[in-house]
Amino acid sequence: MKKFVVYIGKLLILTVLSAVLLDIAYTTVFLKSTQRNKIQHIITSKDKNFDVLFMGSSRTQNHMVAKVFNDKGIKAFNLGMSGSKLDETTLLLKLMLERDFKIKNIILDVDLNLNSNAYSVGVRAMYMPYLHSSKTIQQHYQKIPDYNKLFYIPFYRYIENDAKIGFREMFFTLVHEKSNSLDNFGYYALKSKGKNMSYDLTDYSPKRNSAYEEIKVICKKNNIHLIAIATPMCQGSDSQNYFNSIKSVYPEVYNYEDKVTDDNYFSSCGHMNIKGATLFTTIILNDFIQHKFQN
């Protein structure tokens, strides 16, 4: 019996040591990478200056061609991330300010994310490698149910989020496998046309959103001009009531839902192709230059 207890004790010690070593190894790899995703890029950057940052979900990532602004001498970058909710956008903004970014304007796509106060499991996972190294990330996630397990149990956050930060992603990061997330000033072009050209938003309703409220407070405190917008949907979407009712919750949101409607400009109902995105970004640029987004 004594030998069995000793054996189990040794096994437990070995397991804990292995978890600690794996945690250190994975974290070290992620901390040294700058090219795999936009979160890594922000984490490893400092003192950057921007005239305009585009922030939001895939409807930002696929709709805002930052080059259109840059070609006019307006320094811009697209920080939209597929699947991201406003909660993850809030944290990204906090991290930039923690790293002394100077930001004049943020154009934030809020539209569909005002339907709920949800968060993105996938995007949240990409913050986890930096949980021990960033006070801002710790403070942001301190109240989530799994925080103590994620913070205190070695390697747990990597096991729990294996699909996003597991061995495969760690290996690609280790060998400096570059992704395309930072290409084209962060804009990801969709080239197809006319797939899944319907979208039913009849069960959606815009609501007060705590993350958006926090973004507004942060921007005001840091003298950042926040421009909240709703971006286009295809003709086949049942979305007009939802987008029109956004104004009743947040009057400051600029509604561009019907500014580009021809299906030839869409890859799918909720995402424009490169032709549509370029047209839409040009509309936003002209309104920006003409000072239509004044507080």
Element (H, E) at 26: helix 2-31
Q: pTM for this one?
A: 0.93
Each residue's pLDDT tens digit, 126-160: 999 999 999 999 999 999 999 999 999 999 999 99
- Residue type at 118 in one-letter notation: A
Q: Tokens in use for 138?
A: 């710790």
- Residue type at 135 in one-letter notation: K
Measure the CA–CA gap between 144 and 158, rounded to whole angstroms. 17
Each residue's pLDDT tens digit, 52-81: 999 999 999 999 999 999 999 999 999 999
22 CB-side CA count, 13 A: 18
